[in-house]
Structure 1
Amino acid sequence: MIVARKGKGGSRTRTAMEINLSQNVAWLLPFFFLLVMVNVWSSQGQGCPQRCDCIGKLKTVSCRGKRLSTLPEGIPMDTRILDLSGNKLRWVEHGDLLPFLRLERLDLSENMISVLEPNAFSSLQSLQSLSLRANQLKLVPMGTFSHLSNLTSLDLSENKIVILLDFTFQDLKSLRKLEVGDNDLVYISNKAFLGLVGLKELTIDRCNLTSVSSQSLSYLHNLVTLRLRYLSISTLEDQNFRKLGNLRALEIDHWPFLEFISSHGLQGLNLSWLSITHTNLTSVPTSALRSLSHLTSLNLSFNPISVLESWALRDLLRLKELHLVNTRLVTVQPYALGGLRQIRLLNLSANNLVTLEEGAFQSVNTLETLRLDRNPLACDCRLLWILQRRKTLNFDGASPVCMTPVEVQDRALSAFTDSALFDHFTCQKPKIRNRKLQQISAREGQVVSFICRAEGEPTPVIFWISPQRRRITTKSSGRLTVLKEGTLEIRYAQVMDSGTYICIASNAGGNDTYFATLTVSGLPLDAALMANRTYYAGDLNDTNLNDTRVFLKFTLDLKTILISTAMGCIMFLGVVLFCFILLFVWSRGKGQHKNNFSVEYSFRKVDGPATSGGQGGARKFNMKMI
């Protein structure tokens, strides 16, 4: 129904619906206001502090970044999650948290806390997670974490803690995760981790530690993951982890002083995952890895490992993932991956590899993912095995790219068609140039050189075989060595060096051989003596990896023999004279000697009268001993 009214100011029309609506709103306003007041009162009834945010259903109070210098008032006693991070709190006293018996998570990170009183958290027996990250703590007193029997996660990182004292964590029987990194730690006491019987994950990084003793780690029997990052440790002690029998993952990262791992450095471990990155290791620690027969993943990235040697990983029979990223890797030798029968992923990206031959693998049939990107690859027959598997092999979104030859430069391996494979991915068998026979006769002590030049695609490797069937390469040292261009150099030639030498030029396309003959004659007597004086003494320190033996000759002339004989005689006579003098002095000084003695004797009786009127019988006379 429409009602019209007319007045001086004009007419105004209102519907009955509008009238009823205005009347109803007028009646509802008091109820709406009352509802808002009830909600506000209810919120205040939960005790949500000013400047904090509360979620009643989750029992959560968040006071993050409110510049609080003290614990705010009005926190509900039934709060389960309390966030006080990003404030200006300076200490935590025993009575501050006493009312919050139901608290399960407490975040005190990014404050200015420098002092923790003993038993500061003892009333929080329901606490499961505690973060004290990024404060000013220098010391954690014994008893700080007493009665926290349900605590499972503790973060003490980014403080100024200098030492972890004995029994610091002895009451944390249920702790699963502990972080103490980014501190000023210089020492961890032998019993600092005593009581952490349930610890599964430990992180120690960015500290001043120079060692982590096996004694301190020996209490972590159930540890599963250990991260040791950004430390100044230069060596791993023998059997340093011997009592961590349940450890499955070990991360060693950014140890710039670590250059070598002894054969017993990882003994006692039963790892599945090992990462040793950003250290100064120059080779794969084969002997140390020998005991890790259950290892499935190995990461040796960002180490200066230029050569992956043959059978370097032969004992890792269960290895499935190998990462060697940015290690300056130049060569992967034949059977470098020998023994890896279950390899699934190989990451060799960002290195200096020119090729990766199929002969480096035990078997390529198990390989699923291959990363060879960011390497200066030469696309020839050595990479043909990759091209043949390019449709099934996963390059993880980073296909390898050819660097040479020029006609295929910057082309991805996955972009080649089947018809183009044998047009580009071919090799030329080596051919030795200038095959003129070299027959050299030399005297002992001379330097002898045999030239061997070869061409082929790819560039062949040249090495020599000695008459004693020893391999001589560019890496050999001592008297026999091969120069970079393939020339064999023999310094201070010996008679034993005589014989036939074989030059072998080899590449993926095949081999070529060449023969050279050397005859070395001995020197005259005087010349040999001079030769011995000039170079043999200086050659004592040379190490010959080819096992070439060096014999030293010492030639003696007549003058030397006479002088040696005279000196020997003089010394002999002097010794004899000295002995006689000793005997004489000894005999003269040995007690009193009797110079006279009497001898009594009887003449044999003769029949008949005595001669000259004398009688027979006993006679005496004296004798003087001179």
Structure 2
Amino acid sequence: MFLPLNQSSWLSSILLVFISSLNFGKGLCPMDCYCDESDLSVTCESPSNLQVVPISLNPDFYGELRRLDLSFNKISTLEDRCFENQVKLVRLDLAYNSLSSLQSSKVFYPLPELEYLKLGRESDRKYQHWCLGIFAETQIFELKGQSEINLSFNFIRALELNDLMGLGTLDLSSNPLHSFDGLPLNLRELFLANTNNISSSSLNSMFASLRDLRYLDISSNLFQKGELKDLYSDSLFKLVLRNNSNLFHMDIDASLSQMIRLRSLEIRHQPNLEKVTIDLRHFGKLRYLDISDNHKLSSIDFSNRRPTPSQKEEEEIISSPHHQLVSRLRELRLVNNHLSIFQPGDISQVDSLEDIFLDGNPLLCDCHLRWIQNFLKLKGGSVKRDMEVSCSSLPRNLSSIPQEELYCRDKEFELWVVLGLLLTLGSFCLLSFLLLYTRRNRLNNKKKIVDANATTIAEDIGTMAGTWRSKSTGMTFLDQNEFIYATPNNNDRIIPAVQERNNDIPDYYYYGGGTLPNRYFIQQQRHSNHEEDEIFYLP
């Protein structure tokens, strides 16, 4: 018996439904479909271009059908009870079609064993609103606790699904949701990737109503102010964070320490994440931690960042039976980040850790990798796992590097060495300057007088520094700053003279000779080959 069809779809049903391409013992498979009798499944994906649901060719076979995939076709409508012969159907995929209406709330009735329904990627917004109304109006099927509905990639802004108490998994990814109100209260798994800007307050409000939620995916969302703080959930087991582009620094303690049952955490493919901090003392039930594929992530701090206790508090902590780090962490993945130094911090105290993966990082072979090397030997790491840990500074597998080559330079010692060198250099420069300055002053204080008629050098502390030299009219005293002309037989002290210009004769200058009674002037005669000073006496 065929499905009820309206007149407009009669011709298409004849052409597309009843042409067989595969023969079962008891029935036929629709053209361009793949039918598997062993697992009782039918797949009619593109390019089938079906316009109607091709079921009821053989009720004996299709009555046992478990999986039906009609995605990527051109089905525009679903009629009342069109799946009534498939009461054992478990999975139904109707995504990527041209659905514009469902004729009644009994389209999916009765499907008591249905666990998965996908209606994503519909372009008609009226259909989507109407479909959500059908969900809210009545239970479309006897939902089990494991039932799943996929409504991703639609235009859903508001939800009215409170009454679907048996729904276990709901995928609302890539919908412009305005809020998280209207979700089924018994929901256990929720996908909210690429929905809208997410804030801590909106998530906490959702957690308060979804007390059975175990799994949450909030990937590809923008967090308000680029951070998540003080999230609280006493039911969540697994949290997935991927591709949150405005996340730069993830303080896991501040964000998730109140998720007391968290067992699995993924922070992956964060394009701008640079630093992660986590104190494992806040996550006693965490078993799986994956911080991978964050290509700008250069720092992961596993240290205990609690305030330093007083002596009395420290004694109380040590005497406490909970002094040792309590953690159930079994697997740590830090793959394909930008880590050059791995400091295990509190990770080294986790006895439950079974696997750690660090491949794909530009690790430096220093003392921080000794713990990893010992861990791999202690846990009997497989060759594959061991070979994945390699260094960029020493292009060898970690297992082949002797521990004496895994050393760290004492940064504090290096700092003191640098400071010592700088102080030594500074002292040398200062000493050199002082020596030069002192020598110059001593030279300035020494007065050298050379008598043209004598062969010895006489030093007179009481006279100006300079040099006597012979001229045709007498002896010339050469000062460091100017020329002072006088006779060597003058016993008066020579005082620096002030140069005076004669305004009447531009090329003539007067030089005062201190206490000398007479004044002299110079006429500079410039010739083609040399300059010559001639001295004229003025009475």
Query: TM-score of the superposition, structure 2-length normalised?
Result: 0.57
Contact between 1:346 and 1:369, CA under 8 Å: does it hold in 2? yes
Deviation of 1:229 (Å): 1.0
Distance 1:367 1:57, change over 3 A: closer
Residue 412 of structure 1: aligned partner:
397
Distance 1:246 1:99, change over 3 A: closer
- Once the two structures are superposed, residues 556-601 of structure 1 have per-residue CA deviations (whole angstroms, 9 ceiling, x without a partner) of xxxxxxxxxxxxxxxxxxxxxxxxxxxxxxxxxxxxxxxxxxxxxx
When residues 248 and 415 of structure 1 are mapped into structure 2, their CA distance, relative to the original with a 3 A threshold, is same
Whether the 8 Å CA contact 1:269–1:292 is kept in 2: the answer is yes
Paired residue for 1:329? 297
Q: Which of 89, 105, 126 is residue 139 of structure 1 equivalent to?
A: 126
Given residue 245 of structure 1, which amino acid in structure 2 is its aligned partner?
A: R
Structure 2 SS opposite 1:188: coil
1:205 alignment partner, SS class: coil
Correspondence 1:250 to 2:219: no
Q: Which segments of 5 or more consecutive residues in structure 1 lack a partner in the other structure?
A: 1-39, 145-162, 438-450, 454-626
Q: Does 1:351 align with 2:337?
A: yes
In 2, the alpha carbon distance for the partners of 1:73 and 1:314 equals 57
One-letter amino acid of the structure 2 residue matched with residue 410 of structure 1: P
In the alignment, which residue of structure 2 is the partner of 1:307? Answer: 275
Q: How many angstroms apart in 2 are the aligned matches of 1:231 and 1:273?
A: 19
Write the distance in 1 (CA, Å) between the matches of 2:111 and 2:276. Answer: 54
Relative to structure 1, the CA distance from residue 168 to residue 140 in structure 2 (aligned partners, 3 Å threshold; closer, same or farther) is farther
Give the 3 Å change call, closer, same or farther, for CA 300–435 of structure 1 in structure 2.
closer
- What code does the residue aligned with 1:314 have? R
State the partner residue of 1:459: none
TM-score, normalization by structure 1: 0.50
**Shift of the alpha carbon at 1:268?**
3.5
C-alpha separation in 2, matches of 1:208 and 1:348: 32
Match of 1:226 in 2: 190
Offset of 1:242 from its aligned partner? 0.9
Matches within 5 A, 1:17-416: 48=28, 51=31, 65-70=47-52, 75-78=57-60, 79-80=62-63, 81=65, 84-94=70-80, 97=82, 100=85, 102=87, 104=89, 108-119=94-105, 121=107, 124=110, 128=114, 130-140=117-127, 167-168=136-137, 170-175=139-144, 176-185=147-156, 187-189=157-159, 192-209=160-177, 211-213=178-180, 215-217=181-183, 219-221=184-186, 223-236=187-200, 237=202, 238-258=204-224, 259-263=226-230, 266-279=231-244, 280-281=246-247, 282-303=249-270, 304-309=272-277, 312-327=279-294, 328-333=296-301, 335-336=303-304, 339=325, 341-361=327-347, 363-393=349-379, 394=381, 396=385, 399-404=388-393, 409-416=394-401
Deviation, structure 1 residue 424: 4.3
> 1:314-341: CA deviations, max 9, x gaps?
3111222222213333234462599563
Distance 1:56 1:422 in 2: 64
CA separation in 1, counterparts of 2:196 and 2:111?
A: 38
How far the C-alpha of 1:94 sits from its partner, in A, is 2.9
1:131–1:271 distance in 2 versus 1, CA, 3 Å: closer
CA distance in 1, matches of 2:233, 2:368: 40
Q: CA RMSD in A?
A: 4.0
Alpha-carbon offset, residue 113 of structure 1: 2.2
**Counterparts of 2:269 and 2:35 in 1: how far apart (Å)?**
47
Secondary structure, aligned partner of 2:126: coil
Distance between the aligned counterparts of 1:298 and 1:452, measured in 2?
51
- Asked if 2 retains the 8 angstrom alpha-carbon contact of 1:284 and 1:305, the reply is no
Once the two structures are superposed, residues 441-465 of structure 1 have per-residue CA deviations (whole angstroms, 9 ceiling, x without a partner) of: xxxxxxxxxx899xxxxxxxxxxxx
Do the aligned partners of 2:253 and 2:279 also contact (CA within 8 Å) in 1?
Answer: yes
Corresponding residue number in structure 2 for 1:624: none
The 3 A distance-change label for structure 1 pair 207 and 377 is same
Could you list the per-position Cα deviations for residues 27-85 of structure 1 after superposition, in whole angstroms to 9, with x for gaps in the alignment?
A: xxxxxxxxxxxxx9xx8996748747778898877766544434569733453236655
Decide whether aligned partners of structure 1 residues 337 and 226 sit closer, same or farther in structure 2, where only a CA change above 3 A counts.
farther
Q: Deviations over 1:205-241 (max 9, x none)?
A: 12222x432x323x422x2222211222242324321
Match of 1:433 among 417, 424, 441: 417
Cα separation, partners in 2 of 1:397 and 1:233, compared to 1, 3 Å: farther
Q: What are the residue-to-residue correspondences of 1:439-450 with 2, within 5 Å?
A: none
User: SS of the counterpart of 1:253?
Assistant: coil
5 Å-filtered alignment, 1:483-498, equals none
Return the offset for 1:91.
Answer: 1.7
Could you tell me whether the CA contact under 8 Å between 2:78 and 2:101 is conserved in 1?
yes
The aligned residue for residue 453 of structure 2 is: none
8 Å Cα contact 1:239-1:268 kept in structure 2: no
In structure 2, the CA distance between the partners of 1:410 and 1:256, relative to structure 1 (3 Å rule), is farther
Note the C-alpha offset of 1:180. 0.9
Looking at structure 2, the residues matched to 234 and 225 of structure 1 have their Cα atoms a distance apart, in angstroms, of 18
Is the Cα contact below 8 Å between 1:340 and 1:362 reproduced in 2? no
Alignment partners' CA distance in 1, 2:304 and 2:88? 56
Q: 1:63 to 1:206 in 2, by over 3 A?
A: closer
How far apart, in 1, do the equivalents of 2:216 and 2:123 lie? 29
Q: What are the ranges of 5 or more consecutive residues in structure 2 without an aligned counterpart?
A: 1-19, 307-324, 425-539
What's the CA shift for 1:167? 1.6
- Change in CA separation of 1:291 and 1:98 when aligned onto 2, cut-off 3 Å: closer
